[in-house]
Amino acid sequence: MEQFDAVIIGSGYGGAIPAARLAEAGMRVLLLERGQRWTTSDLMQSDDPRYIAKVIDLVVTRAGVAFRTGSMVGGASVPMDGAHFRAPQKSFDVRAGDGRPYWPEGLSRNALDPYYERVERMLRVRQFAWSEIPKAGGLFAKMLDAAGASCDRARLNYTDCKHCGFCAQGCVFDKKMSMLHTYLPLAELHGAEIRPGCLVDHVEPERTGYVVRYTRAGSPVEVWGQRVFIAGGGVHTPALLLRSKRYLPHLSSRVGEEFNNNGEHGFIGILPPEFDDLSRYSCFMGSENSAMMSFHFFESNGFTLHPGGGLEPSILAASLAATDDPLVPKRAWGLEYKRFVEAVYPHRLIAFSTLGLADGHRAITIDSAGAPNVTERDRTSYDAYLDRVDALLADVSTKSGVKLLPVVPRKLSGTTSAHLLSACRMADAPERGVVDANGHVFGHENLYVCDASAVPYALGVNPALTISAVAERTAERVVERG
Amino acid sequence: MHSMRRLRSRTGKIQVSRREFFDLLAVASAAFAAARCDPSMGVAVTLPESEGGDELPVGLESLGGAPNTHQGRTIAAFCDVVVPGKKRDPSGAPGAVDVGAPAIFFDHALPAAEYVGLVAFLLDAAAKDHFDGQRFADIKPEEREEALNLALKDDSPLEFAVQLAKVAFFSGEKVFAYLGYPGPNDGYIAHPDFTFGVAMAREITKDGNYP
Ligand SMILES: Cc1cc2nc3c(=O)[nH]c(=O)nc-3n(C[C@H](O)[C@H](O)[C@H](O)COP(=O)(O)OP(=O)(O)OC[C@H]3O[C@@H](n4cnc5c(N)ncnc54)[C@H](O)[C@@H]3O)c2cc1C
Ligand code: SF4
């Protein structure tokens, strides 16, 4: 059996970062990724659902929800929308029902700042100038301004972005500093091996390390790692641990339990005709992330507003909540609906989502075949969060004249989610979480989780930078331990 | 949903429980709505294809790429209700059938093909209940609208089919032209209407990071 100092599963932010840092420190690193290695020329500016399904893994569960996660070498860093924010201190201060903070002791904004900075340098994250903000972002800001609210320019890892609007398809112009451009080449430079097409089933302890069992081209393979890092993303990491459970007797019973969609809930805004010179606004112009962010409600109500851009017509395929407004047809189909679409596309449409410090309301479980599933949990607290959001946005709508419609009905809130956090969360003790403050799985030496699922709770801002900072810190601790 | 009970007893071919089946369809609907993607469902539902004539359903000029079978005609008639086409829209703008949306239902690269039989069955059941035992493709377009409206009243799996018809419509190239969406492009950064170029709101952070 091949042997490595470290075997890393998954090559998104959570996998690529430790791969680079451990290889840099001289360790023999193997990175296993189920997806393929794409080059820029494989990417397409395509709205075809069949193409998008290859770039993003849409995890459709039996419980009525679907999540978007990474599916190739580089994980979701390839199709993501570029927003990279540090989490505010308030996010680290949130307390659970038992009165104790979700984040383990020693982790705070201050403590993570050096790691944030390291990642920002690697990914060339910077705040956009007003001259780089597409009109979709400008009109979103204008809506908030009309409602007396603030709106800031966002921070992105795009260099010389051409604003074509196809970020979620992967950037054909090579303007996005994904893992493929940053940490993965660094890992390879230092001798790490990236092995695509390897689907890991489970891990089993052997001697002081672990056997990792995977299939490649349909054949079973096993390798041994002195240390193993699980970074399959927010849904697949808990599933992998649950499949490994019978070999990991001390695994916390919290695996999958605190799954959290970061309070993500989408809205479409229909601009009133008199809002601006709308004939000169086209919602498809500009990057998929229209490069703004509103922190206005964050201090008081724990949520931010994150606008989209580059809007293609299928944004309208989602259901419309029937309202009493004459602008919105009663049915989301038929002739009246067709007239509605013509009236709003492309000059009167904006879209955004809330991100917030909301409790989870679903757990990741596995079915009898070991595939990830979602089980509904108590959603009282999540619904209360949506009530707060709805009330405040109703006020924004009244003051600005922008009609706001949820993208999906409330029962499916989170369905659009790509922010899949906390299902193997960090905590101070195994009764409360799955890994400790250093990403180390409670009860199992040399086994680590360092991706989105380790982030202990919703952040209220886009999570990639925090996932990365935590992964940098975890890697640093492992290198220090030797 | 009495139609579903009837369906089970008639064919006996559905391999999953009714509850689970509804969940799956809700998921499919969510999936399409959320991500414009292919929900890999992994559960096949096979319903027998019933015989039928080969005339076009009333009000349609083509089947939009669907096969000329009973299911094909039913799905085409359905797509025409979801987004009415040239023949019924006084503006002459293309509809779901005109852009080939019905074909997507039968594309085996997408799991929707597995549901076609069920969708057709539910539509027929709705038509039969409300229009004297007639089949969906055989009633008039206005009656189809009413049948669909009634069928959608309670959390019906037909919601999924409506979403799919819309996704198929909105991804059609003819629709891009009609709605003025250019699709692939070299970037708009230099376009005169790309940005306002000035501050549009008050900012509260120093550099875009909230402390
Ligand atoms: C369209 C889209 C837009 C987004 N936009 C933003 C944004 O603007 N800002 C932001 O902060 N976040 C954004 N996100 C979220 C962000 O991309 C994720 O939070 C982040 O990528 C998570 O990193 P990760 O390493 O945990 O998982 P991923 O990036 O999902 O990587 C996990 C990798 O593991 C692989 N894998 C999974 N299971 C196995 C297995 N069993 N064996 C082998 N390999 C496996 C997967 O194929 C994948 O490549 C977006 C996500 C999407 C999909
Ligand atoms: S908008 Fe910018 S980052 Fe996004 S795909 Fe186009 S050029 Fe790349």
Q: Closest residue of A to B110, CA-based? A: A50
Average pLDDT over residues A96-103: 94
- CA of B132 from ligand 1 middle (Å) equals 53
Longest dimension (CA), chain B: 70
Residue B134 tokens read as 């007639």
CA of A175 to the centre of ligand 2 (A): 6
pLDDT digits (tens, 9 = 90+) for A304-323: 999 999 999 888 877 676 66
Contact B166 A335 (CB under 8 A): no
Beta strands in A190-288 (DSSP E): 193-195, 198-206, 209-216, 219-230, 265-270
pLDDT for the residue B6: 34
Pocket test for ligand 2, best of A47, A283, A287, A311 (most atoms within 8 A of CB): A287
Ligand closest to Cα of A239 equals 1
Place of tokens 């919602």: A283
Place of tokens 């007396």: A148
Average pLDDT over residues B77-106: 93
- ipTM of the predicted structure? 0.95
Share of chain B above pLDDT 70, in %: 71
Q: Which of A155, A160, A166, A177 for mutating ligand 2's site (highest number of atoms within 8 Å of CB)?
A: A166
A374-378, A413-417, A424-428, B65-69 — most confident range: A424-428
Q: What is the pLDDT of residue B24?
A: 47
Contacts of B105 in chain A (CB under 8 A): none
Phi-psi region of A174 (alpha: psi -120 to 50; beta: other; left: phi over 0): left
- Cβ–ligand 1 contact at A76 (below 6 Å): yes
Q: Is B107 exposed, middle or buried (0-12, 13-18, 19+ CB in 10 A)?
A: middle
Instruction: Determine what percent of chain A is predicted with pLDDT higher than 90.
Output: 84
- The answer, yes or no, to whether residue B18 has pLDDT greater than 50, is no
C-alpha span between A402 and A270 (Å, rounded): 6
Asked if residue B41 has pLDDT above 50, the reply is no
Judged by phi (left if over 0) then psi (alpha if -120 to 50, else beta), residue B154 lies in: beta
The tens digit of pLDDT for each residue in B125-176 reads 999 999 999 999 999 999 999 999 998 886 667 877 888 888 888 887 889 9
Q: How far apart are alpha carbons A316 and A46 in whole angstroms?
A: 17
Asked whether A432 and A100 are in contact (CB, 8 A), the reply is yes
User: Do A358 and A378 contact (CB within 8 A), yes or no?
Assistant: no
| Record: contact B201-A161, CB cut-off 8 A | no
**Chain A interface disruption, residue of B23, B32, B173, B188, most A CBs within 10 A:** B188
Q: How far apart are the CA of A333 and the centre of ligand 2, in A? A: 32
- Is the pLDDT higher at B108 or at A455? A455
Taking the centre of ligand 1 as the mean of its atom positions, its distance from the CA of residue B141, in whole angstroms, is 45
* Chain A, nearest residue to B142 by Cα: A334
Tell me what the mean pLDDT of segment B177-199 comes to: 96
> How far is residue A149 CA from its own chain's centroid?
26
Pocket test for ligand 1, best of A9, A51, A69, A230 (most atoms within 8 A of CB): A69
pLDDT tier, B44 (very low <50, low <70, confident <90, very high otherwise): very low
- Which residues does ligand 2 sit against, CB inside 6 Å? A 158, 161-167, 171, 173, 175-176, 287-288; B 187
Cis amide leading into A346 (omega within 30): yes
List phi, psi (to 5°) of A479: -65, -40
> What is the DSSP code (8-state) at residue B48?
P
Alpha-carbon distances, residue B152 vs A323, B1, B23, B132 (angstroms)? 17, 11, 16, 19
Mutation for A interface: B32, B86, B164, B196, most A CBs within 10 A: B196
Residue A206, SS3 per DSSP? strand
Question: Looking at CA atoms only, how far is residue A342 from chain B in angstroms?
Answer: 7
Within 10 Å of residue B133's Cβ, how many Cβ atoms? 9
pTM score of the predicted model: 0.91
- Cα separation, B152 vs B155, in Å, equals 7
Distance from CA of A4 to the nearest CA of B (A): 35
| A283 CA → ligand 1 middle, Å | 26
Output the CA–CA distances (angstroms, integers) from residue A97 to A94, A100, A377, A457, in the order listed. 10, 7, 15, 13
Distance between B14 CA and the closest CA of chain A, angstroms? 16
pLDDT digit string, tens, across residues A167-192: 999 999 999 999 999 999 999 999 99
Chain A residues with CB under 8 Å of B180 CB are: 282, 345-346
For chain B, give the percent of residues with pLDDT over 90: 48
